[in-house]
Amino acid sequence: MIPHVPGGEGLALRITGLHKRFGKHRALDDLSLSVPRGSICGLIGPNGAGKTTTMSIIAGFLQADSGTVDLLGMGPFDPSRHAGRVGILPQDAELPVASTPRQLLTVWGRLQGIPASQIQAAVQEVLALVLLGDRADARIATLSHGMRRRVTVASALVGDPAFVLLDEPTSGLDPAQARHLRDALAGLRGKTTVLISSHNLAELESLCDRVVVIDHGRCVREGDMATVTGADREVTITLAPPYPEGLTTPVVLSLDRADPRSLPEATSERLAELLAAGARIQEVRQGSSLEARVLADTAGTPPPTPSGGGRR
Amino acid sequence: MRPLRDIFWVAIYELGEAVRTRLFQLAILAYLGGIGFSVWLFTEILSQAESSLAETLGVPATTRPGSMLPQLLQNGDLRSVLAPLVGGDDKAMALLSQPVLGLWVGVFSMALLPLVLVFTASGTVSAEVRSRSIRFLLVRTGRLEIAFGKLLGQLFLGATASVCGVALAWGMGLTLMSGNDPVALMTTLLLRTFWAALFALPFLGLALGASLLVGNPNGARVLASLTFFFMPIAAAVLKHWSGPDTAGRICDMLILAIPTRYWADFWSMNPGDLAFASARSVLLAIVFFAFGFARFQRRDL
């Protein structure tokens, strides 16, 4: 049973018992998860785990077989209620190539309710955010893959929606652009709820304050990033050889909930003990990497069926 | 008001895309090419008929066709050409009080406008479903607004083509022919194009319905085109099978849904008949559109 964030009124998204099949393939199997308002949440899982299907159901592209979705406290996605409040970067939607970013964003922005007096400023702001201010009037056909990706990111962010779904947002971006986008997304923390699906776990670990791990259409882990990675209760100390007698590396310090000490206190005490025993410290790491946790959570799972994967 | 606003913006988006991909220009040029050809063909036929008549009467042939039109109308040759196109000799007789060029262009408009709309509308939604670019719209407005916005965009495209066709035919008619009253010709062209547009409505509904029904633009085009071209055959087959038994009655009902069989009704001079034909056209368009939308509304996109 996956523990849920208490106090549903603070949630931007609550999914309960979601099921979705594509023919014989079970894409989602009793998926339940929640995302607090104002958080940046990572949606993680192997290929075919159901990430894109989940996002598509949240945005109303796909219809669930059963289960409930409560988006922004207004029930499942309904454009009459959610238009302008939800932005999405679909994983593989192609942009109309004959148009320019400004033309597309202007019409889409007007469609989602941005007033005529504000639309040009809103479009300019979001294009500047994705570093495309100077290509605003270039035809999409002339833009590189990375630039097109940034246009779709801009389309998700135009008009300051309350909830943003991003499916592989940094895919195809060069490192500098990816970092700029991560910084821009980090700036949304507290104001906008962001749900990001990505295979770049290091990126999610640095950006997200919450994480949901799904596998075979089920949620296998959900919680704050610090809790999931153990950064709030676990320290791994790697020793350099030669090791003092009776010690092996790494030394894992796991703080019990009943322990009255803080993690820095416990770590300092353990380090002092190790140094006193003659150990040489090579590295001290707080918690495990997100990658290690996810691999542990999804280890031993069979490969996804061919009908699964990211084309949903 | 929000649904109406959304429909307007989807239509703007649709037209913007059509203009930028040159589909809009291509469709209008194709229609204008057909209308221009029809006027040229008419003047050629008229020119030959007038040359023959001049030879028979022993008078010099005219340089611009049209000056002997009254004589040609009297001897019944033009009426016999027009009669099968408008659904009978009586209708042709009654219609010939109007400029013949206007009637001739009306025949071509009724044939071309459905063809152009089937070509442009059948790919409009299905192409976006295929490329998934429709998802950029789905997160911003409802599926009904998207479908109606696409319909509005196609209606505007059809209206633009029609108006341009009237202007071209009028200009060519006055330039290439003599004896045309500019006001009477314009009035006839506008009226005939209006009826042609109403006749074309079910075909627009059919093409858009196919586009809403099938998620592949090629599939939607094939479905719409096959339906369009096989309608007359289907009508003949259904008529052959019609009868008093259950299967025959079903055939009788299916015949009612074939818009090509209402061609002649739009050539009636009776306002009541025209109003009934128009209402039936609108109803058929709604039925075809609704059939496709029923699937579009529920499907995964």
Average pLDDT over residues A289-307: 65
**B13 vs chain A: nearest CA distance in angstroms?**
7
CB distance B113 to B162 below 8 Å: yes
Q: Domains in chain B: how many in total?
A: 1
**B19 vs chain A: nearest CA distance in angstroms?**
9
Phi-psi region of A30 (alpha: psi -120 to 50; beta: other; left: phi over 0): left
- Kindly list the residues from chain A whose CB atom is less than 8 angstroms away from the CB atom of residue B16: 99, 103, 107
Taking the Cβ of residue A98 and every Cβ of chain B, the question of whether any pair is shorter than 8 Å is answered with yes
Cα separation values, A239 from A244, A266, A284, B43, B178, Å: 10, 17, 9, 99, 104
Give the pLDDT band of residue A105 (cuts 50, 70, 90).
very high
Taking the Cβ of residue B140 and every Cβ of chain A, the question of whether any pair is shorter than 8 Å is answered with yes
Taking the Cβ of residue B297 and every Cβ of chain A, the question of whether any pair is shorter than 8 Å is answered with no
CB distance A285 to A238 below 8 Å: yes
Task: Return all residues near B199 (Cβ < 8 A) that are at least 6 apart.
Answer: B110, B113, B114, B259, B262, B263, B266, B277, B281
Helix, coil or strand: residue B29: helix
Rounded Cα–Cα distance for residues A268 and A243 (Å):
19
> Phi first, then psi: what are they for A188, rounded to 5°?
-85, -10
Q: What is the pLDDT of residue A1?
A: 36
Q: What is the pLDDT of residue B192?
A: 95
Does the model's ipTM exceed the 0.90 cut? no
Chain B residue with Cα closest to A104:
B13
- Kindly list the residues from chain A whose CB atom is less than 8 angstroms away from the CB atom of residue B13: 107, 111
Amino acid symbol at B191: L
Chain A residue with Cα closest to B140:
A83
Average pLDDT over residues A73-77: 94
Helix, coil or strand: residue A214: strand
Q: For A127-178, how does the pLDDT look when each residue is reduced to its tens digit (9 = 90+)?
A: 999 999 999 999 999 999 889 999 999 999 999 999 999 999 888 888 888 8
Q: What is the pLDDT of residue A4?
A: 43
Chain A residue with Cα closest to B138:
A61
Structure tokens at A12: 């931007």
Taking the Cβ of residue B96 and every Cβ of chain A, the question of whether any pair is shorter than 8 Å is answered with no
The range of the structural domain enclosing residue B75 comes to 2-298
Task: Return all residues near A59 (Cβ < 8 A) that are at least 6 apart.
Answer: A77, A86, A88, A90, A165, B135, B138, B139
Q: What is the pLDDT of residue B41?
A: 94
- Kindly list the residues from chain A whose CB atom is less than 8 angstroms away from the CB atom of residue B6: 111
The answer for B 117-136 residues in CB contact with A (under 8 A) is 131-136
Segment among A22-36, A58-72, A248-262, B111-125 with least mean pLDDT: A248-262
Cβ-defined contact of A88 to B142 (cutoff 8 Å): no
Average pLDDT over residues A270-296: 87
Q: What is the pLDDT of residue A300?
A: 55
Closest to B140 (Cβ–Cβ): which among A62, A83, A99? A83
Q: What is the pLDDT of residue A9?
A: 60
Closest to A103 (Cβ–Cβ): which among B16, B137, B301? B16
Asked whether residue A3 carries a pLDDT value surpassing 50, the answer given is no
Comparing C-alpha atoms, which of A168, A226, A174, A190 is closest to residue A45?
A168
Between A3 and A121, the higher pLDDT residue: A121
Q: Would you say how long chain B is, in residues?
A: 301
Closest to B139 (Cβ–Cβ): which among A62, A86, A104? A86
Q: For B37-57, how does the pLDDT look when each residue is reduced to its tens digit (9 = 90+)?
A: 999 999 998 898 888 888 888
Q: What is the DSSP letter of A91?
A: S
Work out the angle at residue A110's Cα, subtended by the Cα atoms of residues A108 and A112, and round it to the nearest 5 degrees: 70
* Mean pLDDT, chain A, whole residue set: 88
- Kindly list the residues from chain B whose CB atom is less than 8 angstroms away from the CB atom of residue A83: 139-141
Q: What is the pLDDT of residue B196?
A: 95
Closest to B17 (Cβ–Cβ): which among A94, A99, A108? A99
Q: For B280-292, how does the pLDDT look when each residue is reduced to its tens digit (9 = 90+)?
A: 999 999 999 999 9
Closest to B141 (Cβ–Cβ): which among A79, A92, A155? A79
- Which of A107, A114, A126, A155 to mutate against chain B (most B CBs within 10 Å)? A107
Q: What is the pLDDT of residue B242?
A: 79
Point out the residues of chain B with pLDDT beneath 50: none
Give the pLDDT band of residue A312 (cuts 50, 70, 90).
low
Helix (H) or strand (E) holding A170: none
Helix (H) or strand (E) holding A106: helix A101-111
Q: What is the pLDDT of residue B111?
A: 93
Asked whether residue A306 carries a pLDDT value surpassing 80, the answer given is no
- Which of B135, B145, B146, B298 to mutate against chain A (most A CBs within 10 Å)? B135
Asked whether residue A194 carries a pLDDT value surpassing 90, the answer given is yes
Q: For B122-167, how does the pLDDT look when each residue is reduced to its tens digit (9 = 90+)?
A: 989 999 999 999 999 999 999 999 999 999 999 999 999 999 999 9
- Kindly list the residues from chain A whose CB atom is less than 8 angstroms away from the CB atom of residue B12: 107
Chain A residue with Cα closest to B149:
A111
Helix (H) or strand (E) holding A160: none
Taking the Cβ of residue B26 and every Cβ of chain A, the question of whether any pair is shorter than 8 Å is answered with no
CB distance B174 to B39 below 8 Å: no
Q: What is the pLDDT of residue A309?
A: 44
Taking the Cβ of residue B2 and every Cβ of chain A, the question of whether any pair is shorter than 8 Å is answered with yes
Taking the Cβ of residue B25 and every Cβ of chain A, the question of whether any pair is shorter than 8 Å is answered with no
Give the pLDDT band of residue A294 (cuts 50, 70, 90).
confident
Comparing C-alpha atoms, which of B172, B202, B213 is closest to residue B189?
B172
Q: What is the pLDDT of residue A308?
A: 41
Q: Which residues of A283-299 are buried (b: 16+ CB within 10 A; e: fewer)?
A: eeebbbbbeebbeebbe
Q: What is the pLDDT of residue A19?
A: 95
- Kindly list the residues from chain B whose CB atom is less than 8 angstroms away from the CB atom of residue A84: 140
